Structure 1
Amino acid sequence: MKVVELSEKLEDVVAKYNLSDSASVYKNEFAIAKTQDLKKALEEMEQEGRILKIGIVGRVKAGKSSLLNALIFDGDSILPSAATPMTAALTVMEYSPDTKAEVEFFTQEDLSDIKHEHDEYLRQLENLIEEKFKQLKEKNKKNKPDEELQETARKQATREMKGNDKLFSSYDQYCRIKDSDASLEELKEFEEITAENTQELNKKLLDFVGADGKYMPFTKSVTLKLNEENLKDVQIIDTPGVNDPVTSREDRTRELLKYCDVILIVSPSGQFLSSEDMDLFDRITTKEGIKELYIIASQIDNQLYGSEKKAGGGILHKVLQNTTKNLTNHMHSVLSKDEYLKDNPTFKSLLSNEVVYSSGICYSLMQSLDKKEQWDKNKEHVWGLLTEQYKDYFSDDTIARENLKLLANMQKINDILNGVKDEKENILKEKKDSFEKAKEKGLKNYQNALIKEINRTIEKLKNSDIEEIKKKIEHMSKIKSKSVEVVDEAYSDKIDTLEYDIKSSLLDKLNSYFRDSKRDISNSEGSETESYTVDKGWFQGVKSLFGGDDRYETRHRTYTTVKAGHIRNSLDELTDKLEMTIDIEAKRTIEEWKKELVKNIVHTLRDVAGDSNLEIDLLSKTIKQIVNSVTYPEVNYGGGLPSSLRKSGTLEGSSAERFIDDARDYVDNLKGQVKSDINSYIKNLVQKLKETNIADSIFKKYESDMKKFEDDINNKTMMLEKYNMIVSELEKL
């Protein structure tokens, strides 16, 4: 690294000749970092660029495990499929020479979250049972006993509540936690699990991620470190197939996804882009590193029969072509209806792409075609359908292998991943090259500034008279008290302007951010209407026989909906903007103020003392050093969202209304808090600056520098030789 070598050599020269005083001014001006920090930054860039981060998003039983088994494990059934949303732990996969797993378990706080959702499930279940019971009682023509009606109502309500994956999985999980005899304390010994190979590790993990695993209810996430060649330079984030009821795990899922280079949204072809899939979309934020987004229509082999086969005339390639076209049209239709996705640049790119189909099981069949005796029932079933419905395309292994490869379509997905990786490497190379060039330019400017500074010192030494310097030192001692007074006055005036400048530069920008966030909240709010039937009683039924109104009346109810993830993304973005803007704007304003302060103090002293009584270059350098040495309080704003707003998916009814109210209250409260924080910061800054006796520091340093210059003149020959040697060394770098 050429730039690191230059930095090291410059540091050596500065240390060797004790030039830290002169160097400090230019280090600040040219943003010169320590060599070790520069080296670390470049190494981190290289490391970051080597890893391709792939996010997998999809609901339970969408075919994610089969897809990953095909992509990473060459079709072997290494990853277990999640049986329910509850068993789908967050899984991270990465390369390691040693095969092991790191298991993270829920904390006590996480278990409280699950219990809260469990209790909410029971509350909603009881309300629904009561509602169903009333309906059954109104229609009870056969006079069934209340106990029987109550049991029927409970069955109907339970069946309906199971459709709410998020609540039901929390209820089911908490029941398993209560039934388990395990404790959080004893789980600590299982935080790392080692194995000889991937198959052995998979068996050991069944206790932690298997549907009936002893410790499954407590498992939050699993990081698999596997000795698999296909995982080298790759990290895969396989997300839970449900918007997680556990806030901390959902937070981590979203955090990992936002730094992915590519996200594959896996949706089964038979229920392509359902409402459940769309709910998972709002886990995906596009404010960080996501470069590519693709929708994978998985399990394409399930769509080759019936009407699709008939429409394609039984010709496999044509059936596949028609099916892909239909899926693509459906994707465009669904995405076009969602205003948030339609206007989002990353999601918008999907509208110009064709759906990528896949079949993980067909890839597995292709890879094990000569080991049919080892197939499980699922593989035998899929193979049986293909050979029965498309006999000519699977009549012998050679033809079958080609057509299974076509249906698997793994080459297309690998091409996508390789394309993203190539693009990432090019972008990273440009970024690294640009960073190195900027740092090299800064170091060259720093080097030249030091050379110019020392050359000016050489010229002054050659041309200065010792008696003249003594007179200047004596004159400054006479006017010091007056000079201190005028410098203090100029400094105080500039503090007042800094207070105004920071306020005005910050508040205008921050107000626009809050307006944008409120607009996003309003745009994410919607409504839906559902119909229901009301029984007006037997008397109305009798009247209807004689031309009266019908006994049963259809009524409509409108309720509020909200895309919680969209609002959460907006609020996260608001917080990030606030933190970045407050920090950057405050620092920028202070840097501009420091430059003006130096000019102002120099101008003030020239008016008081006169140029003939000052060493102007030395004075300017002294003032810069003192101003830069003042420590300024840090300003930052980093407030996390409250748990009530860390939600995803589509909320309905009272839940949606509460969420919207909470979001608006949060923005209003945050606005007041940020203004208060800014005022407190400015107050602390002003107090800190006023407590700094800058005039006294300047004159002490100036007197010390003048005395050193006097000593240099008294040892002119030796000092000229030393400074010329420094210039020579700097010029050779």
Structure 2
Amino acid sequence: MNYQELVAFSENLHQLAESNQDLFGPELDQFKRSNGIDQPQQLDQACQTLQDQNRLMNIGIVGRVKAGKSSLLNALIFDGEPILPKAATPMTAALTTITWGEVFQAKVEFYSEADIAIIKNKASQYDQRLAVRKVQCLDELVQRRRAQANGAPINIEELTVLADKKALSELQRDEGLFAAHDQYQRMQRSGLELSTLHSQSEIQASTPKELAERLHNYVGASGKFMPFTKTVHVFMPLEALRDICIIDTPGMNDPVQSREERTVELLKTCDVVFIVSPAGQFLNEQDLEVMGRITQKEGIQELVLVASQVDTQLYGSEKRARLSDALDAIRGQLSARAQSTLADLKQSSPEVGAVFDGLISSVHRNLLHSSGLCHSLNRRFDTPESWDSNEQVTWENLTGDYPDYFTRDNTDLSLSSLDSLANIEAIKAVLAQVREKKAEITQQKLGNLTATKQKNLEAFKAQIINLARNQIAQVKNANIEQLDVQLGLLESKRLELSLALDFSFKGSMLDYRQKLRDDMRKVASTLLRESEAAIDKAEGSYSTTITTNNDGFGSWIARKMWGGGTTERTVTRPKIVSSQVVSTIKGFMNDIQDELGAKVEGSHRWLNEELSRSLTPKIREVLEEDTNGQMIKQAILSVIQSIPYDDFNLGIELPEELKSRGTLKDSEAETFKDAADDFVGSLGSKVKSKISAFISNVERNAPVTISDAFVDEIQRKISVLKDQVNNAAQTIDRLERLARKTEEVAL
């Protein structure tokens, strides 16, 4: 069954119900609300949205700057043409999304005033720390030189130069502050004002190359608008991009926190993430920090390691007589390194949780080599005059070291050899597998949704038929005089019903609120204990080697003569991957929202059953046998379901200091961990306050009494029934036709 058939089934049932609404009153609406019966257009939209959301395959590209990400994307999408610009530095790399569009265009998001204020503030911090460190370094050098000079004059100018270089080298290691400093300097030199850039936020072109040329102005190292470019969304009418969205992430230590957060959020939507690392420096510390952005995703998420620029490893110690043997040896070494590096990452950074478990357990299967440059050579083999200098040098190296595989005399062999190094088809095969798996999951989700909705609609159909037949029986058996007597009796017993019902109702509502409060607090306490334990495990560490100069003249001579006179020691320092911690906290907050929301929804059902159970016998006792039992049941259900219910909304925002900021070390890691501990520690009291406020709101919104509403509803039903009895033939005919037509509606 396709979902369009289910929508048509829903439309037919709703049309019949709505055209006969006057026969039943609110009963059908109450049934629809309590059983989750969607309007046909809502059902259609839900199914369509599920298909649309899952039709688009999100592909994440993660890797440090100059890892070969642009070359890989150019090979995958543009058949090796150098369309996508390469970022020159981490600071010039923008967050880029690439997807299908009707025309070649790009939409650029520039930094906001708030973003620029953050960059300026961090740049100022960098300048202040640099100035302080220069003074400290100079003081250290002067003291050391005095101890060694034995009264000889000291060249302050020379030491100042050395101190400045040392301080600059140290501060540049703080890549977050250095990136902000560099970015702000570029903004200042550009002479542009943010307010003038709105007109430059959209680019259009007629070809991919023309679009690429215009993009250089925004993301190229010397681009006019580059200092202000935050994110670029590229759209191209290319079949390779249909139904996919590629998310190309910038380097780490993003100077703008809002873009770092957006990067992490986008990566959570990805169905497959390619982790691109150069084969020559495979999975170094920068790569591990970049990988820290990848957080657990619900559903399918394939992680694939791509050892890029593999052609650079074919020479020297890795050289073999056969090209395939050389590739096998390189892949073996890369697999071993990936296995140990990722295992160490899991050990030293517990905050990554289970994200990389699948990758660690199947590194060999999920490790691919690649060379975008070799793919480009393969595609433009017949036009060597179009090769750039890097491509020419690569071809010369290949022909020199592997002449049996790369030669102008055998085009087919050369193309095949280049293809084996490029390995683009293997990467495309991974995408095809993910797409197939995604399609299966989408169909499963759609099948589950339609099965649930079909069950609800079948119950709705049965309810329409049941109501019609019950109403026919009531019209046939009713007597106008008796109905008038019942109306008078109800009015006369209004006070008695009030005494019988309202006290019981008040007690049930009190029990409901107390039970709901206790249940919600119990759920919240359990989840909060789990979250505290998870955050405690999120503190990682890293080891670094510190070199200190030994005191004494002999050590000074050793440093000057052969680089000795120093002592190395390994220290362990704190490290934390902020995105993983933030993801953990958000995950627990979502769990709290979902669990408490489910508890509230379940409590609604409990209250309905409790009120029906406790009030029905009291009504029968007061009215004795003077009122229709079916009418009493329907009336009390109508009154109970008219009691307003609120949905629980946690509504707790993460504080500014707990936004994703990449991988943090040393004092920044400790500060972030303290902020996480403080937030989680205070989360318990915040959640309790939210629960208390919710319960108070429930109490304010609920009616104080129920007897008047019940009497009014019974009187309304008797009046409607009197009208139907006065037009019995016509009413029964309509009800019989309704029951018959409803039975005929089928899937």
Q: TM-score of the superposition, structure 1-length normalised?
A: 0.94
Distance 2:520 2:472 in 1: 45
CA separation of 1:198 and 1:374: change in aligned 2, threshold 3 A: same
The answer as to 2:614 corresponding to 1:600 is yes
Which of 415, 434, 444 is the aligned partner of 1:420? 434
Q: Deviation at 1:203?
A: 1.2
Q: CA deviation at 1:341?
A: 7.4
Alignment correspondent of 2:744: 732
Identify the match of residue 703 of structure 1 among 704, 709, 715. Answer: 715
Distance 1:563 1:127, change over 3 A: farther
After the TM superposition, which residues 500-539 of structure 1 pair with which residues of structure 2 at under 5 Å, given as runs? 500-527=514-541, 528=543, 530-537=545-552
Sequence identity (%): 32
CA distance 1:534–1:726, shift in 2 (3 Å): same
Trace 1:272-671 onto structure 2 (pairs within 5 A): 272-309=282-319, 313-337=320-344, 338-339=346-347, 340=350, 344=354, 347-354=357-364, 355-395=367-407, 396-527=410-541, 528=543, 530-537=545-552, 558-610=572-624, 612-671=625-684
C-alpha deviation, 1:555, in angstroms: 6.4
TM-fit CA distance, 1:188: 0.6
Distance in 2 separating the partners of 1:254 and 1:393: 43
Of the three residues 79, 93, 108, the one matched with 2:98 is 93
Give the Cα–Cα distance (whole angstroms) in 2 for the partners of residues 653 and 622 of structure 1: 67
1:109 alignment partner in structure 2: 114
Residues in 2 aligned to 1:719 and 1:9: alpha-carbon distance in whole angstroms = 21
Superposed displacement of residue 557, structure 1: 5.4
Residue equivalent to 2:560: none
CA–CA distance in structure 2, aligned partners of residues 144 and 314 of structure 1: 60
Answer yes or no: is 1:137 the counterpart of 2:142: yes
Residue 266 (1) aligns with residue 273 (2): no
Distance 1:272 1:648, change over 3 A: farther
C-alpha deviation, 1:296, in angstroms: 0.9
Q: Which position in structure 2 is the counterpart of 1:121?
A: 126
Q: Distance in 1 between matches of 2:195 and 2:567?
A: 58
Quick one: distance in 2 between partners of 1:552 and 1:260? 48
Paired letter, 1:89: A
TM-aligned CA distance change 1:192 to 1:650, over 3 Å:
closer
1:666-692 deviations in Å (ceiling 9; x for gaps): 11222211111110110111121145x
SS in 2 for 1:221: strand
Q: 2:569, 2:338 → 1: CA distance?
A: 33
Note the alpha carbon deviations across 1:231-254, whole angstroms, 9 max, x for none: 011111111121422111111111
- Where 1:224 maps in the other structure, the secondary structure is strand
Which whole-Å CA distance do the structure 2 matches of 1:190 and 1:621 have between them? Answer: 64
Could you list the per-position Cα deviations for residues 500-534 of structure 1 after superposition, in whole angstroms to 9, with x for gaps in the alignment? 22222222222222222222222222444643425
Is 1:137–1:149's contact at 8 Å kept on the other side of the alignment?
yes
Secondary structure of the residue that 1:369 maps to in structure 2? coil
> 1:290 offset after TM fit, Å?
4.4
3-state SS, counterpart of residue 573 of structure 2: strand
**In structure 2, the residue corresponding to 1:393 is in which secondary structure?**
coil
Measure the CA separation in 2 of the matches of 1:553 and 1:383.
Answer: 46
Contact 1:538 1:551 in 2 (8 A): no
List gaps (5 residues or longer) in structure 1.
543-549
Distance 1:687 1:522 in 2: 40
Structure 2 CA distance for partners of 1:223 and 1:609, relative to 1, 3 Å: same
**2:56 alignment partner in structure 1:** 51
Q: CA RMSD in A?
A: 2.2
Deviation at 1:460, TM superposition (A): 2.2
Q: Distance in 2 between matches of 1:656 and 1:412?
A: 39
Structure 2 gaps of 5+ residues are 558-563
Partner of 1:547: none
Amino acid at match of 2:456: G
For the residues of structure 2 that align with 1:232 and 1:24, how far apart are their CA atoms? 43
Shift of 1:440: 1.4
Q: State the distance in 2 between where 1:346 and 1:31 align.
A: 39
Instruction: Give the match's secondary structure for 1:524.
Output: coil
Q: Cα offset for 1:226?
A: 0.6
Residue 5 (structure 2) pairs with residue 2 (structure 1): yes
Q: CA deviation at 1:374?
A: 0.5
Does 160-169 or 571-580 show the bigger shift?
160-169
Q: Which moved more, 1:233-242 or 1:497-506?
A: 497-506
Question: What is residue 674 of structure 1 aligned with on the other side?
Answer: 687
> How far apart are residue 556 of structure 1 and its match?
6.6
- Separation of aligned partners in 1, 2:491 and 2:699: 30
Aligned to 2:561: none
How many angstroms does 1:537 deviate by?
4.7
1:683 matched to 2:688: no
1:192-237 deviations in Å (ceiling 9; x for gaps):
1111111111111111111111111111101001111100111111
CA offset at residue 491 of structure 1? Answer: 1.5
Amino acid at match of 2:642: S
When structure 1 is superposed on structure 2, of 71-80 and 521-530 the one drifting more is: 521-530
Moved more, 118-127 or 219-228: 118-127
User: Match for residue 250 of structure 1?
Assistant: 260
**Alignment check: 8 A CA contact 2:304 2:359 kept:** no
1:80 to 65, 78, 85: 85
| 1:713-728 superposed matches below 5 A | 713-728=725-740
Contact 1:51–1:233 (CA<8 Å) still a contact in 2? yes
SS at match of 1:613: coil
Residues paired across the two proteins, number: 721
CA distance in 2, matches of 1:561, 1:174: 27
Q: Are the equivalent residues in 2 in contact too, given 1:25–1:621 (CA < 8 A)?
A: no
Q: Which of these residues, 56, 67, 70, is aligned with residue 65 of structure 1?
A: 70
Cα distance, 1:346 vs. partner? Answer: 5.1
Distance (Å, rounded) in 1 between the aligned partners of 2:123 and 2:530? 36
Instruction: Quote the Cα distance in structure 1 between the aligned partners of 2:654 and 2:352.
Output: 26
